[in-house]
Structure 1
Amino acid sequence: MAGKRKGRRQFGRVRKLPSGRFQARYPGPDGVDRPADRTFATITDADLWLAKKRIEIEEGRWLDPDDGKTTVKDWAARWLASVGPQLKHKTRATYRSIITSRINPVLGDRELSSLRPITIAEWVAKMKTDGVGASWIRQCYRVLAQIMTAAVDNGLIAMTPCRGVRLPRMPQTEPHILTQLEVSRIVRAASAPHDLLIALLAFGGLRIGEAFALRRGDIDVQRCLLHVDENLGEANGALVFDLPKSHQKRTLTLASSLVQRLSAYLDRLPGNDDALLFTNGAGGPLRYNQWRKAHFDPAVSAAGLTDVTPHDLRASHATWVADQYGVMTAAHRLGHSNASVTTRHYARPAAGRDAQVAEASESWIEGHDNAQRARRGHDDDDDGTAGVLVPA
């Protein structure tokens, strides 16, 4: 009987162990004879496992089990080395920090093939218990998910364990949208030349790092243009010049009055076109925390305002532009490749617009635009639509 069963089986072999369970072995496509990753209660179960393994090999889906034994730590290091040259310096430093401080201490010694969604869920839960913020947890998870996806793409594991994991929700925070007059008060209260820097944040929509990285040559006085092609950020305490976020270089048109003030400032500023537009007292690049404490926050207080951040000026600019000229124009000025980012994180409905819509709807209900008709001098004309009501 056993001989007949063996004759029918044309792939692999099964033997009975002293324990009474059955072990299956099969030849891999590389010619190496390998045992199954587990034993079986019956010879039928072993045969079924071998049949599935044969199909995997025939369809090209077979994975070398030895590759799955690669540790998370070793694969993460290899992955970062492969993607690092394409990343911005600050992003690369952030990824390295996450791998070193959050991934390796908990998962680093685990084999890739041993990870399951529950493993990742427990890792996320531990970070939350340790008091890690929701934003940082989500960023750590995104990095691990990239590492695991690369493991799948390179044939180390069949499926990523980063699936179906519930992440902590981000707290809903709304930017403080200021009026143009409120911003003007902050600008007037700031000391020179930081008043110009604040004006560029509010009336140009720049990121703070983009403003810090501006150079003399970025100002085109004749055409009232500003070229935004660099960003100054901090990575592990070091200042790093890099491309703007998402590599979105752009050219902005500035108000002529602001350009005139910038021109007067440039006339007094030493250096060539590569010289930084704004520097600290020693002539070096600005650092966010120091600049905010020394210049921005005092100007906000002097303007009689509270709870205003430099980032609020960018959000305010987005709101003003989107309200008057559309979200696509706002997205361009902010350097967003996708307008949904502008509406989700920056632009907000301008105050009072809802009441204006209600006022305008009076004319909609009547079937014409009273204000438009008045401008055209047709107040007394009857085009046959007056008195038409919207059905209830």
Structure 2
Amino acid sequence: MARQRAKARRTWGKVEQLPSGSYRASYVGPDEKRHKAPYTFQTATDADTWLSLMRADITRGVWVNPNAAKAQSFGAYAEAYIEQRVTGRGSVLRPKTAAGYRHQLKKGLAAFADMPLDDITPAAVRTWHVERCKTAKTSAASEARLLRAVLNVAREDGIITDNPVHQKFTKSSAGNKYRPPTLDELAVLHAQVEPRFKLGVLLAAYGGLRLSEWRALRRSDLTRDEVRFVISVTRQAQHITGQGWVVGPPKSDEGVRIVTLPTHLTATIVKHLGEYAADGAEGLLFAPLGGSQFIHDSAFNKSWGIAQDAAGVKGQVREHDLRRFAASHLHAVGASVVAVRDFLGHADERVTMKHYLRVVSSNQGEFADKMPVLPSPLTAGAETET
């Protein structure tokens, strides 16, 4: 009797209980054809809920014919994924992130571009992965992560029932194991890089700034008390192929932060301001040569490569690993994990500001001063040679 009453109350769609005990939902769409849910449900209530969502889509005019959706190509669906994806904080993808995804679609994932979503099988993914790994193992892993992410959404949309990309394909098993430099290696790197980039290396190693952040610094971002400088890191500058320079918040909104520098860098900063920074409060600390708006990656990387060779760390220490140097040494001299997290800008912005201000007002300067002073390049070079 209870089941009959439940059926009587349903005015749209159909729910059937299968021999397995699960429930299958179906409905007649605007195309006057019956469409089944792409999966079964544990309870009749869940099946009814799904039917309600389908009916709401039809009412609002946003219903998509499942059969037509299945025929949609991966390339078109992936482009929509990039356009519509938002971060955990509800922000759209950064321009550089979106550009990176599109590059992967055009390169490593091009084999799937014209393939219908439901034609991408585990066997097809496995074959692609084997071939891709022959020439680019690390790229194959990152491309597989994007492929899996896009198809996860397709599964959530009911276009496919299972994700054909096994998680094992998304793990990088190749590539160099990078590390932060030793103190002596850092001294050689700093000594060998072009003079106009020396402060950038120090800001990365002692302030945890990314290249995209320190090249965007302006004089107004620096404040000085009697003994030290403090930097406001509020923006980054990235060059994106086809778009040019894009200036925005740091890598994530959480990256907006205040960085207290060691006192032993004060004289170096003053010297740099006098020799290399552009004039005026809004003048760039790292004025580019020629007509570029900011210092381009290629300009720094050429000089950085020479320094890497001199220090013997090519393929071991990247510019980004200077941030790891900063983090590890701050932690080694007593800074808590929370303090280091705030220093690098890895927390939620509200949490960052709450903890960061407390650290700045108490002992961040003390931690900064405990970081090791850079030895002279001659001494470091001699020790490196032996």
TM-score bracket relative to the smaller structure? 0.5 to 0.7
Distance (Å, rounded) in 2 between the aligned partners of 1:106 and 1:298: 38
Determine the structure 2 residue equivalent to 1:73.
Answer: 75
> How big is the shift at 1:258?
1.5
Q: Which amino acid aligns with 2:240?
A: A
Please report how far the alpha carbon of residue 291 of structure 1 lies from its aligned counterpart in structure 2 after TM superposition. Answer: 1.9
Q: Contact 1:29/1:57 (CA < 8 Å) preserved in 2?
A: no
Partner Cα distance (1:226, 1:93) in 2: 29
- Percent identity of equivalent pairs: 21
Change (3 A) 1:334 1:320: same
Distance change in 2, residues 1:108/1:193 (3 Å): closer
Q: Is the partner of 1:234 in helix, strand or coil? A: strand
Distance 1:56 1:65, change over 3 A: farther
The one-character-per-residue Cα deviations of 1:332-384 (angstroms, maximum 9, x if unpaired) are: 3233339xxxxxxxxxxxxxxxxxxxxxxxxxxxxxxxxxxxxxxxxxxxxxx
Equivalent residue number for residue 214 of structure 1: 217
How big is the shift at 1:87? 1.0
Is 1:311 matched up with 2:317?
Answer: no
User: How far off is 1:95 after superposition?
Assistant: 1.1
Does structure 2 conserve the Cα–Cα contact (< 8 Å) formed by 1:229 and 1:244? yes
Question: Which ranges of structure 1 fall in alignment gaps of 5 or more residues?
Answer: 1-10, 12-25, 37-51, 339-392
SS state at 2:239 partner: strand
Q: Whole-Å Cα distance in 1 between the matches of residues 223 and 35 of structure 2?
A: 71
Q: What CA deviation, in whole Å up to 9, does each residue of 1:52-74 have, x standing for no partner?
A: 9x999756378833322222122
Find the residue that maps to 2:247 and give its secondary structure. strand
Per mean C-alpha deviation after superposition, the further-off stretch among 56-65 and 209-218 is 56-65
Cα distance change on mapping 1:190 and 1:30 into 2, 3 Å: closer
With over 3 angstroms needed to count, the CA separation of the structure-2 counterparts of 1:132 and 1:185, relative to structure 1, is closer
Q: Which residue of 2 aligns with 1:236?
A: 241
Aligned mates of 2:266, 2:137 — CA distance in 1: 41
Partner SS, residue 227 of structure 1 = strand
Q: 1:128 and 1:189, CA in 2 relative to 1: closer, same or farther beyond 3 A?
A: closer
- Written as runs of structure 1 = structure 2, the 5 A alignment for 1:1-392 is 28-30=28-30, 32-33=32-33, 60=50, 64-83=66-85, 86-103=92-109, 105-129=110-134, 131-134=135-138, 136-163=139-166, 166-167=169-170, 169-171=172-174, 173-222=176-225, 224-236=229-241, 238-247=244-253, 248-267=255-274, 269-282=277-290, 284=292, 285-293=294-302, 295-299=303-307, 305-307=312-314, 308-325=317-334, 326-337=336-347
TM-score by length of 1: 0.63
Moved over 6 A (4+): 54-57
TM-score by length of 2: 0.64
Cα distance in 2 for residues equivalent to 1:301 and 1:138: 29
Asked if the contact 2:229/2:266 (under 8 Å) is kept, the reply is yes
Task: Supply the distance in 1 between the matched residues of 2:177 and 2:166 (Cα, whole angstroms).
Answer: 30
In 1: Cα distance, 2:191 partner to 2:108 partner = 45
Cα separation, partners in 2 of 1:97 and 1:156, compared to 1, 3 Å: same
Q: How many residue pairs get matched?
A: 299
How big is each residue's C-alpha offset from its partner over 1:163-193, in whole Å with a ceiling of 9 and x where there is no partner?
A: 4553464337443443435434543555533
Is the contact made by 2:74 and 2:117 (CA closer than 8 Å) also made in structure 1? yes
Partner of 2:356: none
Q: 1:73 to 1:321 in 2, by over 3 A?
A: same
Comparing both chains, which one has the higher relative contact order based on Cα–Cα distances under 8 Å and sequence gaps of 6 or more? 2
**Kept in 2: contact 1:221–1:263 (CA 8 A):** no
Give structure 2 stretches of 5+ with no counterpart: 1-13, 15-25, 37-41, 55-64, 349-386
